[in-house]
């Protein structure tokens, strides 16, 4: 759909530029008008603009006659689990992995999933048409706190794993929460699992002073250095709202998200299970599904799209190559803490090092780059299609072009004004050459 405000994961922008207090209030009014419910839950990550955006949204929601339940600073999946259990909609104030000057507003459905594009379109229509519900003064909604969400969330994850085996293992874990929303919840879960914990950046800091929010290798130098001491079984890192989780092995090697997705999937699915993943994911997942005799469904990029397909197809597992894993038996959304727990469950149950387990995964090499988007995507797409028309292509999301020995996926980001370039091959050299070829072509545009 041609949405004007909603991107891949909610509405994002820079406070007082794109996300003004008036606009945020209108978004709150529109979300509440759309859901037309008695209560909506709300939470935020640690960004310094969170209070301004949150109070503006709350004001808008209250004006429509709906009560607001404030849950505090929480990971996005913790809010989603609260919504699922209480069967009420939610609003998350977060820009996830984006830099600290950004913030965003994400709408959660009453089943805990992110709303789909059709609902986003209806909310946009309410915003642009100013079709807000209004109530008389004595029916305006109330605002109150609920501090039960943390225990509800952490306890629910513990029930989905063999926590007694993990407790007996007494794993040594280094965790970097990146000053984000998981600064309290993930260390709490690790402590309940009887892990020996050393934590980095586990204080709320809305400027992300210690590292950039996205858990990429270049942003995790301190955690990687700590892991190279050889004193830990595993390193763990989250993004700003902790819906993603990446790992560092016992020797300090960064584990790409596509490899952790493939590994957890391999030990989670059974014959005839269904797995859902976007077109950007590694071919390793396809190989594993073939090996395990499971069905693999490919979708467009975006966690909400993957989650909806999982629900429709009763899938056990879904996920993306960026560290976003969805465990259907828990909830249909990316969940960093659940991903962390599943990996600890795997390490404890198999009694192997992470590097040994990764050695069992088909070895593909993926390279990711991006260029600034200065043209409309439709124009860029036509140029690419014409230039490389001799190649086999897939237009499910962006353009996936198949080259000798590998492929490249070119698509506009749904959260930033960039074009992402993913390439993959069995050979690191070929993957790099393919990526370089298309990077240079796009950069020259």
**Residues near 66 by beta carbon (within 8 Å), at least 6 away in sequence:** 32, 35, 37, 38, 39, 40, 141
Angle in degrees, CA 329, 333, 337, rounded to 5: 80
Q: Are 223 and 174 in contact (CB under 8 A)?
A: yes
Is 348 one of the annotated active-site residues of the chain?
A: no
Q: What's the chain's Rg over C-alpha atoms?
A: 21
In the three-class reduction of DSSP (H, G, I as helix; E, B as strand; rest coil), residue 288 is classed as: helix
Residue linked to tokens 């198949």: 402
DSSP code of residue 113: S
Strands 39-44 and 325-327: unpaired
Question: Which of 49, 96, 186, 202 does the annotation list as catalytic?
Answer: 96
d(CA 105, CA 124): 13
d(CA 100, CA 268): 35
Instruction: Residue 301: name the closest of 414, 407, 424, 213 by CA.
Output: 414
d(CA 185, CA 75): 8
Q: Mark 103-118 as b/e (b = at least 16 C-beta within 10 Å).
A: bbbbbbbbebbbbebe
Cβ atoms < 10 Å from Cβ of 393: 14
DSSP symbols for 160-225: TTTHHHHHHHT-EEEEE-TTSTTTTHHHHHHHHTT-EEEEES-S--TT--SS-SS--GGG-HHHHH
What token pair was written down for 319? 């996920």
Q: Mark 255-292 as b/e (b = at least 16 C-beta within 10 Å).
A: bbbbbbbbbbbbbbbeeebbbbbbbbbbbbbbbbbeeb
Residue linked to tokens 């091959």: 425
CA 156, 160, 161, 162: dihedral to nearest 10 degrees?
100
Q: Are 172 and 195 in contact (CB under 8 A)?
A: yes
d(CA 13, CA 376): 19
Catalytic positions, please?
A: 96
């Amino acid at each position: 759909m041609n949405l004007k405000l909603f991107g891949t994961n909610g509405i994002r922008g820079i406070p007082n530029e794109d996300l003004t207090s008036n606009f945020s209030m209108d978004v709150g009014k529109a979300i509440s008008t759309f859901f037309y419910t008695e209560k909506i839950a709300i939470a935020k990550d640690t960004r310094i603009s969170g209070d301004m955006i949150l109070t503006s949204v709350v004001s808008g929601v209250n004006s429509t006659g709906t009560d607001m339940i404030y849950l505090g600073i929480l990971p996005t999946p913790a809010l989603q689990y609260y919504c699922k259990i209480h069967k009420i909609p939610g609003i998350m104030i977060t820009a996830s992995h984006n830099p600290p000057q950004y913030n965003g507003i994400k709408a959660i459905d009453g089943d805990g999933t992110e709303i789909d594009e059709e609902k986003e379109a209806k909310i946009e229509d309410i915003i642009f048409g100013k079709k807000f519900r209004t109530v008389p003064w004595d029916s305006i909604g109330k605002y109150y706190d609920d501090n039960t969400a943390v225990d509800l969330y952490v306890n629910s994850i513990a029930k989905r794993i063999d926590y007694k085996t993990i407790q007996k293992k007494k794993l040594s874990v280094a965790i970097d929460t990146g000053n984000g929303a998981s600064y309290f919840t993930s260390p709490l879960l690790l402590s309940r699992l009887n892990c020996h914990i050393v934590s980095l950046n586990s204080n709320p800091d809305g400027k992300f002073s210690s590292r950039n929010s996205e858990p990429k290798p270049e942003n995790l130098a301190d955690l990687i250095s700590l892991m190279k001491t050889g004193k830990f079984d595993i390193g763990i890192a989250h993004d700003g709202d902790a819906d993603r989780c990446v790992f560092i092995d016992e020797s300090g090697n960064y584990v790409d998200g596509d490899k952790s997705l493939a590994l957890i999937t391999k030990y989670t699915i059974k014959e005839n299970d269904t797995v859902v993943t976007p077109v950007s994911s590694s071919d390793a997942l396809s190989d594993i599904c073939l090996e395990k005799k499971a069905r693999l469904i490919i979708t467009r990029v975006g966690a909400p799209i993957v989650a909806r397909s999982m629900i429709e197809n009763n899938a056990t597992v879904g996920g993306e190559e960026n560290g976003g894993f969805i465990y259907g038996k828990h909830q249909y959304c990316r969940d960093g803490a659940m991903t962390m727990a599943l990996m600890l469950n795997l390490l404890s149950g198999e009694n192997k090092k992470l590097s040994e387990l990764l050695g069992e995964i088909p070895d593909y090499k993926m390279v990711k780059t991006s260029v600034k988007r200065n043209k409309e995507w439709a124009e860029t797409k036509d140029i690419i299609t014409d230039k490389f028309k001799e190649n086999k292509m897939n237009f499910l999301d962006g353009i996936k072009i198949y080259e000798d020995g590998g492929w490249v996926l070119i698509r506009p980001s749904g959260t930033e004004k960039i074009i992402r370039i993913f390439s993959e091959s069995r050979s690191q050299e070929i993957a790099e050459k393919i990526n370089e070829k298309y990077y240079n072509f796009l950069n020259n545009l």
